[in-house]
C-alpha cells in the first residue's frame, strides 16, 4: 500500500451545545484534503476520543467519508486501555469502511512490555486493514519500547506502521534500527518532524497541518528533494506555531485557532476547558508569521 507522508489527526467539531457537528466535520475534512493533508485520522487524542461514543464515532466517520470520498484515506482511532474493547472498536471501524486504525498504547493501567505485546497482537489478529501503533507515554504513562514494537511488528499480519510521540528523536533511531524497511515510522510531534526525517522517519501525524498543511507538505518535499537547508529555514519559521499549539493541552489551542479562523465551530468537551483569549496571544502571532512565510514563498 502507499502510505501518506502527512496524516492530520483531525479535531472533532461540536455544536454550541456540545453535540457532534457532522456537517462541520465534513467541511473541515474537505478543507484539509485540499491543503496538504494526505490522510485523516479521526477519534485520536486531538479528536477528543475520550468523549466520543461508538455512535458518534460512526457518525463522524460517515460525515468525513462523505466529505472527502476516496480522495484521501480516512482512519479511525480505536485504542483503549481494555483489550476486548479495543478489539471491538477496531472490528467496527473496519466494518464501517475505515482505511486503517490507530491504536494508542493502553493508558492508566500501565501494562508490562509483555502485556503490550499481547494486547497489540490480539487486536491485530482480529482485523485485516492497516494499523498504526501509537506510542505517547506523556498521555498514557505506558511507554512501548522499541524492542517491544519490533516484536509486535513481527506478529502483524496486516500493513503496520508506528506513530512515535515519546518526545525524542532517539526513539525514532531505535525504531528504525529494529524495524524492517516496510514498516513506516511517523513522527507524532510536529516540532521534531524535520529531525525525525533526518534519522529515517517516513512522515508525520500532524496537529499543525490543520492550519499549515501546505507548509508541512513543502517541508517534506524540500527534505526529500535534498534541499535540507531550505527545509531547515522553513522549519524554523514554523517552530513558534508548533510550540504555541501546545501552550495548553491539545486540542484546546488548536480549536481556539480554528474557531478564530472560522474553519471549525465549537469548543472542547469537559473536562477540557478553553481559557481566556489572552492565553493565546502568542499562538495568533505565530500563526500570522507562518502565513506570511507562505505568502512570501508564493511570490518567489
pTM: 0.95
Q: What is the pLDDT along the chain (300 residues), one digit of tens a residue?
A: 799 999 999 999 999 999 999 999 999 999 999 999 999 999 999 999 999 999 999 999 999 999 999 999 999 999 999 999 999 999 999 999 999 999 999 999 999 999 999 999 999 999 999 999 999 999 999 999 999 999 999 999 999 999 999 999 999 999 999 999 999 999 999 999 999 999 999 999 999 999 999 999 999 999 999 999 999 999 999 999 999 999 999 999 999 999 999 998 889 999 999 999 999 999 999 999 998 865 555 443
Task: Return the pLDDT at 300.
Answer: 38
Residue 110 annotated among the catalytic residues of the structure: no
- The catalytic residue among 107, 110, 134, 186 is 134
Of 197, 291, 282, 297, residue with least CA distance to 243: 282
Distance separating alpha carbons of residues 157 and 160, to the nearest angstrom: 8
Q: Kindly name the residue from 151, 155, 163, 291 that is annotated as catalytic.
A: 163
Q: Known catalytic residue: 151?
A: no
Structural domains of the chain, ranges and CATH numbers in brackets:
6-223 (3.20.20.70)
Q: How far apart are CA 185 and CA 202, in angstroms?
A: 6
**HSE-CB for 259 with a 13 A CA cutoff:** 18
**Between vectors from CA 123 to CA 62 and to CA 205, what angle results, nearest 5°?**
55
pLDDT at 128: 97
Long-range residue pairs from 265-269, CB within 8 A, at least 24 positions apart, any chain: 265/13, 265/14, 265/15, 265/16, 265/21, 265/24, 266/13, 266/14, 266/15, 266/16, 266/18, 266/21, 266/24, 267/14, 267/18, 268/48, 269/14, 269/18, 269/48, 269/51
In 105-235, the DSSP E strands lie at: 131-135, 160-164, 185-187, 203-206
Amino acid at each position: 500500500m502507499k502510505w501518506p507522508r502527512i496524516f492530520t489527526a483531525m479535531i472533532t467539531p461540536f455544536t454550541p451545545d456540545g453535540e457532534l457537528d457532522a456537517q462541520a466535520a465534513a467541511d473541515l475534512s474537505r478543507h484539509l484534503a485540499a491543503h496538504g493533508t494526505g490522510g485523516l485520522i479521526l477519534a485520536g487524542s486531538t479528536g477528543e476520543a475520550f468523549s466520543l461514543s461508538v455512535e458518534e464515532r460512526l457518525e463522524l466517520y460517515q460525515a468525513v467519508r462523505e466529505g472527502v470520498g476516496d480522495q484521501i484515506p480516512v482512519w479511525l482511532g480505536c485504542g483503549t486501555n481494555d483489550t476486548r474493547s479495543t478489539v471491538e472498536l477496531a472490528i467496527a471501524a473496519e466494518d464501517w469502511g475505515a482505511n486503517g486504525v490507530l491504536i494508542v498504547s493502553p493508558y492508566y493501567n500501565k501494562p508490562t512490555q509483555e502485556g503490550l505485546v499481547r494486547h497489540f497482537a490480539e487486536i491485530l489478529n482480529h482485523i485485516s486493514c492497516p494499523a498504526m501503533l501509537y506510542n505517547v507515554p506523556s498521555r498514557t504513562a505506558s511507554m512501548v519500547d522499541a524492542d517491544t514494537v519490533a516484536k509486535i511488528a513481527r506478529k502483524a499480519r496486516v500493513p503496520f506502521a508506528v506513530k512515535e510521540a515519546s518526545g525524542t528523536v532517539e526513539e525514532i533511531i531505535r525504531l528504525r534500527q529494529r524495524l524492517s524497511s516496510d514498516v513506516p515510522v511517523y513522527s507524532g510531534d510536529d516540532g521534531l518532524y524535520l529531525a525525525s526525517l533526518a534519522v529515517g522517519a517516513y512522515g508525520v501525524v500532524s496537529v499543525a497541518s490543520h492550519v499549515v498543511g501546505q507548509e508541512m507538505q513543502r517541508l517534506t518535499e524540500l527534505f526529500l528533494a535534498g534541499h535540507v537547508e531550505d527545509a531547515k529555514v522553513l522549519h524554523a519559521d514554523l517552530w513558534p506555531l508548533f510550540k504555541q499549539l501546545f501552550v495548553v493541552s491539545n486540542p484546546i489551542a488548536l480549536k481556539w485557532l480554528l474557531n478564530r479562523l472560522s474553519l471549525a465551530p465549537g469548543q472542547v468537551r469537559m473536562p477540557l476547558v478553553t481559557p481566556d483569549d489572552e492565553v493565546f496571544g502568542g499562538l495568533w502571532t505565530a500563526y500570522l508569521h507562518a502565513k506570511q512565510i507562505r505568502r512570501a514563498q508564493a511570490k518567489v
